[in-house]
Chain A
Amino acid sequence: DVKVTQSSRYLVKRTGEKVFLECVQDMDHENMFWYRQDPGLGLRLIYFSYDVKMKEKGDIPEGYSVSREKKERFSLILESASTNQTSMYLCASSLSRLSLKGLFFGSGTQLSVL
């Protein structure tokens, strides 16, 4: 089974802190994604990467950056955390663009910014 592991289940940070969310997948998937889930808004795509060192903006990239130095690892960075970034963050991966089962998700990181 594919395993997508997010390093933290819960995080509490202060406004203005730099925050790193880490994600590792163990199935040699090409594509990795970061989403955030908010009540009433569903899952919204922040950034995705289709290759090492490649990244593309999703629908809501403002206030975020990403890093993919190795194929299995995709990091989401909040340069200066703000309270409106309090959310559930979900990392996902897919084998290829035409992956029939779509995305495999991690368990999520619930981030609270105070």
Chain B
Amino acid sequence: DQQVKQNSPSLSVQEGRISILNCDYTNSMFDYFLWYKKYPAEGPTFLISISSIKDKNEDGRFTVFLNKSAKHLSLHIVPSQPGDSAVYFCAASDTSGTYKYIFGTGTRLKVLA
């Protein structure tokens, strides 16, 4: 059973526009969420995170929004740049439980110049 889902396998956006990547989860015990970016032939790298006590966290061009009632989070990239083209994974953790991080299936973002 997929506890963390990214329903869009791919997304194309024009340079300078907003990219919105979505993630849904089913486990109400998850209380910490992260986004990772992955380039080909490299390991994922941490991008931004959010705790369940917040509904928004910003870091430069990247903002993560959390809607706990809908069990939904999204990553906004504004403005999008060609270097943002990568696969993006969301991940969730229950910090009171095990040490596990559960990942989604990923969304491939392509930013067109």
Contacts and interface: CB of A to CB of B under 8 A. Distances in A.
Given A40-B9, A100-B49, A102-B49, A58 B100 contact: yes
Residue of A44, A98, A102, A108 contacting most chain B CB atoms (<10 Å)? A102
> Size range of the interface on B?
20 to 34
A101 B43 contact: no
A97 B89 CA distance: 20
Given A40-B9, A42-B104, A43-B89, A102 B99 contact: no
A90 interface: yes
B93 interface: yes
Contacts of B43: 4, 90, 92, 105-108
Nearest to A101: B46
Interface residues of A, number: 29
B50 to A, nearest CB: 11
Contacts of B93: 102
Interface in A61-114: 90, 92, 94, 97-98, 100-108
Interface of B: 4, 6, 9, 34, 36, 41-46, 49, 89, 91, 93, 95, 98-106
Given A42-B89, A97-B95, A105-B45, 12 more contacts: A42-B103, A42-B106, A43-B44, A48-B100, A50-B99, A56-B99, A92-B43, A94-B99, A101-B46, A101-B49, A103-B91, A105-B43
Interface of A: 4, 9, 31, 33, 35, 40-45, 48, 50, 56, 58, 90, 92, 94, 97-98, 100-108
